[in-house]
């Protein structure tokens, strides 16, 4: 491949992305701590100096105290939940991104907890593989990856469940594994392959990586994305590290990279979690590099930017529709242009007749209930642009256009 064929990443563009993470690093409430941001930054070409070190320090305090049952959170009413399997996995990735290996009594307990989480999920999937993990195969893959980069061995049967899911994708209940999910599984398998932690499964692992690579290539859109714009960073993290590049793969990756850079330029990456999955790619790195991270690599210091307030905007109208409740809700809501969908929901609630609830996640506010109706097991409130286009962003980032109709639909997954 000729060097001049590879689209150059504009360093200013990367810096602007990094700058969007800085406010998050100052947001130290337990509910908003996000180990993914730390991982993304450490695998990028950027650094946040003392801020970054302090952020890891707070991450450690918070995760260790809530996971190891210490009393740090007792008086903190907005954060009673323990981190989930995936969050614990991301925390272990964050430690590794700082070139630390989990060890000692505390470290062993964290590792045991993650192993226990995976064992429970293995049980939920069941002997016949007919069940579903309580969380998701995405988190299952993340858990395996995190233990792998710390060189912690898992039972073959735990790895076997993910291998089965990838091999028999079409037989699974919902039939559909997203590109994000298979890419995460691929990153976990690539780590296992490099580290040779499950030698009995060696051949199956190599075959699964090959299989995943094919699935992702097949999912490439005419624009060049693997799946959609937001699954492309993880897909590229995996494909870039391919041991057998080949011409087809090289061309597909170049196309994906070009599409991704164009969408970055268009401002598609506003979400901190998404930026944290993208920054490593723009630095030629992937989560698998956490097997032996380079903590001495020079990185450019980020400087915070002062946001200038935007001038008052014209007013637009957005139709908000909830057909899956009775009586169905529909109303036209006026908001300033550039408002997020969350602003529309807030306004609708203020006008009365509409109600909603959210839960904070690493991706931002997740819509959990609408008109008092909570999404149940394996259900979620799907966001769509009428008539039938699922949104690719959450309520905090999506900005509806004038005259658009947004539907909130109770869907299963
Ligand atoms: C699994 C998954 C889901 C599951 C979550 C259920 C579950 N129990 O796991 C379901 C199917 C419900 C789901 C729904 C949606 N998802 Co989703 N999801 C994922 C996926 C594959 C993994 C998330 C995860 O487990 N992370 C790891 C854990 C440790 O982090 P966590 O914060 O604790 O995880 C929670 C949140 O991620 C939350 N969640 C899942 N998706 C989304 C999306 C948004 C915007 C928010 C705020 C939260 C959220 O559910 C997780 C479990 O509780 C990611 C892929 C990725 N690259 O990150 C996409 C992803 C985050 N989802 C995405 C989208 C767009 C959505 C929807 C908005 C789609 C829609 N049109 O309705 C909805 C959310 C609507 C709402 N109610 O707010 C995009 C976000 C892109 C962006 N710009 O930020 C991603 C990146 C997929 C993609 N490539 O398009 N999702």
Per residue in 82-92, pLDDT (tens digit) is 899 999 999 99
What is the distance in A from the centroid of ligand 1 to the CA of 361?
9
> With a 6 A CB cut-off, is 382 part of the ligand 1 pocket?
yes
Gap between the Cα atoms of 86 and 157, Å rounded: 19
Q: Please confirm whether the linkage preceding 64 is cis (ω < 30° from 0).
A: no
- The answer on pLDDT for 48 being more than 80 is yes
What pLDDT sits at residue 312? Answer: 78
Closest Cα to atom 85 of ligand 1 = 230
Percent of the chain with pLDDT strictly greater than 70: 92
Which helix (H) or strand (E) element contains residue 93?
Answer: helix 85-97
- Tell me the pLDDT tens digit for each residue of 106-152: 999 999 999 999 999 999 999 999 899 999 999 999 999 999 999 99
- The answer on pLDDT for 313 being more than 90 is no
- The answer on pLDDT for 206 being more than 80 is yes
Confidence of residue 5 (pLDDT cuts 50, 70, 90): very low
Confidence of residue 245 (pLDDT cuts 50, 70, 90): low
> With a 6 A CB cut-off, is 45 part of the ligand 1 pocket?
no
Q: Which atom of ligand 1 is nearest to the CA of 268?
A: 83
Confidence of residue 170 (pLDDT cuts 50, 70, 90): low
| Mean pLDDT rounded to a whole number for the chain | 92
Gap between the Cα atoms of 202 and 159, Å rounded: 11
What pLDDT sits at residue 78? Answer: 42
- The answer on pLDDT for 182 being more than 80 is yes
What is the distance in A from the centroid of ligand 1 to the CA of 106?
30
- The answer on pLDDT for 4 being more than 50 is no
Asked if residue 134 lies in contact with residue 121, where contact means CB atoms within 8 angstroms, the answer is yes
Q: Which atom of ligand 1 is nearest to the CA of 228?
A: 89
């Amino acid at each position: 491949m000729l060097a001049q064929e590879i689209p150059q990443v504009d360093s200013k563009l990367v810096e602007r992305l990094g700058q969007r993470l800085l406010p998050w690093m100052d947001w130290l409430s337990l509910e908003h701590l996000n180990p993914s941001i730390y991982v993304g930054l450490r695998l990028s070409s950027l650094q946040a100096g003392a801020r970054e070190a302090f952020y890891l320090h707070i991450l450690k305090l918070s995760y260790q105290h809530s996971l190891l049952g210490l009393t740090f959170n007792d008086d903190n009413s907005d954060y009673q939940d323990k981190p989930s399997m995936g969050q614990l996995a991301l925390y272990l990735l964050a430690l590794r991104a700082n070139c630390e290996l989990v060890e000692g009594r505390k470290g062993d307990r964290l590792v045991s907890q993650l192993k226990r989480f995976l064992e429970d999920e293995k049980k939920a999937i069941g002997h016949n593989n007919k069940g579903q993990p309580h969380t998701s195969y995405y988190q299952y893959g993340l858990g395996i990856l995190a233990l792998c980069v710390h060189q912690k061995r898992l039972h073959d049967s735990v790895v076997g469940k993910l291998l089965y899911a990838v091999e028999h994708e079409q037989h699974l209940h919902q039939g559909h594994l997203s590109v994000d999910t298979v890419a995460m599984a691929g990153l976990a398998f690539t780590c296992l392959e490099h580290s040779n932690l499950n030698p009995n499964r060696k051949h199956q692992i190599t075959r699964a990586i090959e299989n995943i690579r094919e699935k992702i290539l097949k999912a490439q859109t005419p624009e060049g994305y693997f799946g959609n714009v937001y699954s492309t960073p993880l897909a590229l993290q995996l494909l870039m590290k391919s041991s057998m590049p080949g011409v087809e793969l090289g061309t597909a990756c170049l196309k994906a990279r070009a599409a991704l850079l164009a969408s970055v330029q268009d401002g598609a990456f506003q979400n901190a979690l998404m930026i944290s999955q993208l920054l490593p790619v723009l630095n030629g790195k992937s989560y698998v590099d956490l097997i032996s991270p380079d903590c001495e690599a020079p990185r450019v210091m980020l400087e915070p930017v002062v946001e200038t307030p935007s001038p008052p905007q014209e007013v637009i109208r957005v139709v908000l529709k909830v057909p899956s409740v009775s009586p169905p809700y529909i109303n036209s809501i006026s908001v300033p242009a550039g408002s997020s969908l969350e602003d529309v929901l807030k306004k609708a609630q203020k006008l009365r007749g509409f109600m909603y609830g959210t839960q904070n996640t690493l991706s931002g506010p997740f819509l959990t209930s609408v008109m008092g109706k909570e999404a149940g097991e394996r259900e979620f409130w799907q966001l769509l642009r009428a008539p039938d286009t699922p949104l690719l962003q959450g309520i905090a980032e999506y900005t509806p256009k004038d005259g658009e109709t947004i539907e909130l639909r109770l869907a299963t997954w």
